[in-house]
Structure 1
Amino acid sequence: MMKLLDAHCHLQDPRILSKTPNLIKSAQDSGVVHFVVNGVSEQDWHLVKNLAQNHPSIIPSFGLHPWYVADRSPNWFKTLKEYLDSTPSAAVGEIGVDKGSHGKNIDFSEQVGVLQQQLELAKDLNKPASIHCVRAFGDLLELMKSVGPFPAGVILHSYLGSAEMVPEFSKLGAYFSFSGFLMSLKANKAKKMLKMVPSDRILLETDAPDALPTSNIDSLFFVEGDTSLPKELHDQITSSSTSTSLSNSSQVVTDASMLSKETLNHPANIHSVLDYVASMLEITKEELADLSYQNAVRLFSYEGSKVLQK
């Protein structure tokens, strides 16, 4: 069986937290060995830590996401350092900058200041950091140039930046992680960008419970109890094992692009991301699985990690 590592997800998300043990088992049965679970604010760091303590497969990651910058407490940075100090297996993330629909209402200079503090912390701790960036890649590159390079690596999670910026980010120590969001790009643009990514810098992720791949329904895994699904799909999932995709489905809905944007993503759907990226790169999915897994193991093999290289 192929080994995969989900380089970025949110299994602590309240929409799926109660189902996390089943989701992990289903994904593990499909070959996913580890899940990098990213906290986003002071309010969920303890949930990430608890999940990692209860599930050996979870690599915890703590960070302040740009959407929650305005809600941070005066002691947020001290608290973050305490979580990282007390959790040797943890990486840094999710951190970043956002000028998109969610981020445009949050003071950008504050976002940059908070990101800079966390990038410097990750560098000091010699740990990788998972970075969210929406419509701010130029700003991010300048900040990374001023703080970097990053020998321990940074992960540009759900990367949708330009092909032209890939070499610049690579020089600074960036890895490029791809989720179902990649399928929102035009195929020729996605292919051009993917072809620019060095083979030793490519990662795969799900960003679950977000970023449901727009694949055929019968190739996807769905979350049991997801009320946003059409009734026929919901009933079928409820009456069948959640560890299987909806094979032999004869639904009116044929692919996930026809589903509600609220539909939850299952961590086992990393296989759909694998298939898509492999097709764009014109290599086999077995080659890409091995490549991305080895890259992830190398990146997450810092001192105290759960995935130290043998």
Structure 2
Amino acid sequence: MSHHLLTHSYPIDIHCHQRRNDEALQILSFDTSDLALAKQSGAEASPNPISVGIHPWFIAKQDIYAAFELLENVCRLTNVLAIGECGLDKCIKTPLETQTAVFRRQIELAEQIRKPLIIHCVRAFNELLALRKALKPSQVWIIHGFTGKPALAAQLLEHGCYLSLGKALLKPKHPVTVTLPNIALHRLFLETDAAEEVSIGAIYSQAAKILGLDLPTLQRQIVANFERVFTHD
């Protein structure tokens, strides 16, 4: 994987959907249904780090064969740091069987090209872990936008997943504020996701407050996590 994209920028936003003015290293997420993604497959691909995947929400809105062809072409670009977001969602109409087939193929692709997965999972963690047990992937799985309770976090961590937390941390009574101190710091990431009104700096500041850490210490830990997950050869 190319290292020229990876800097010690503070802070790191592991998953976002729009380029921001924040002074941070941002991984911008594209779905294959996004027409803007086509530009990324050309010779003038943006140097900005991105992730690319087939989101379960958009499976039914595109030709899935063409989507996989595009994904397989784009995902090998040096600025593509991860596959995703992809995953499982029991709150949408697309049958879970169809979602699982699409997700499974992306898991296999991530293994082939040795890049981590950014995972969307809604009310399907049992199925997610069943896939992980069956496939025994070697690449890192990052559960993005995690808002669950400590017991679920512990289960995911036990099975080798990383957890990325976002704007829910800014809600004082949200369950994830209790979960955060129970997450091993070497498995933690932070993100803005689609929250246009929230800065990654605000999320880092709140996370540091909840953890009882000074901000530079938390930032260094996230950078170390990022380098370990994304800079392997």
- Normalized against structure 2, the TM-score is what? 0.84
Larger radius of gyration: 1
Deviation readout 1:221-254 (Å, 9 max, x if unpaired): xxxxxxxxxxxxxxxxxxxxxxxxxxxxxxxxxx
Superposition deviation, residue 99 in structure 1: 2.0
- Name the amino acid aligned to 2:103: L
Question: Could you tell me whether the CA contact under 8 Å between 2:168 and 2:176 is conserved in 1?
Answer: no
- Name the amino acid aligned to 1:299: V
Structure 1 pair 182/132, CA: closer, same or farther in 2 (3 Å)?
farther
Counterpart CA distance in 2 for 1:206 and 1:84 is 22
- Normalized against structure 1, the TM-score is what? 0.65
Superposition deviation, residue 42 in structure 1: 3.3
Tell me which residue corresponds to 1:206.
192
Structure 1 pair 153/281, CA: closer, same or farther in 2 (3 Å)?
same
Counterpart CA distance in 2 for 1:282 and 1:191 is 12
Corresponding residue to 1:285 among 208, 215, 233: 215
Tell me which residue corresponds to 2:147.
160
- Name the amino acid aligned to 1:97: L
Superposition deviation, residue 169 in structure 1: 2.2
Corresponding residue to 1:53 among 45, 53, 62: 45
* 2:160 is aligned with 1:173: yes
* 2:15 is aligned with 1:8: yes
* 2:53 is aligned with 1:63: yes
Question: Could you tell me whether the CA contact under 8 Å between 1:206 and 1:265 is conserved in 2?
Answer: no
- Name the amino acid aligned to 2:167: G
C-alpha RMSD over aligned residues? 2.4
Counterpart CA distance in 1 for 2:88 and 2:142 is 13
Counterpart CA distance in 1 for 2:104 and 2:191 is 24
* 2:113 is aligned with 1:125: yes
Query: Percent identity over the alignment?
Result: 27
Deviation readout 1:48-93 (Å, 9 max, x if unpaired): 557x934x4x2121100000011231332222111123x1331211
* 2:83 is aligned with 1:92: yes
Corresponding residue to 2:22 among 22, 27, 31: 27
Counterpart CA distance in 2 for 1:79 and 1:274 is 34
Structure 1 pair 2/119, CA: closer, same or farther in 2 (3 Å)?
closer
Counterpart CA distance in 2 for 1:162 and 1:282 is 19
- Name the amino acid aligned to 2:120: H
Uncovered stretches (5+) of structure 2, i.e. residues with no partner:
1-7
- Name the amino acid aligned to 1:4: P
Tell me which residue corresponds to 2:62.
72
- Name the amino acid aligned to 1:181: A
Tell me which residue corresponds to 1:246.
none
Tell me which residue corresponds to 2:3.
none
Uncovered stretches (5+) of structure 1, i.e. residues with no partner:
12-19, 212-263, 304-310
Counterpart CA distance in 2 for 1:124 and 1:89 is 17
* 2:229 is aligned with 1:299: yes
Structure 1 pair 183/109, CA: closer, same or farther in 2 (3 Å)?
farther
Counterpart CA distance in 2 for 1:153 and 1:134 is 19
Structure 1 pair 183/112, CA: closer, same or farther in 2 (3 Å)?
farther
Count of aligned pairs: 222
Counterpart CA distance in 2 for 1:294 and 1:163 is 23
Counterpart CA distance in 2 for 1:289 and 1:153 is 20
Q: Which one has the bigger strand percentage?
A: 2
Counterpart CA distance in 2 for 1:66 and 1:184 is 27
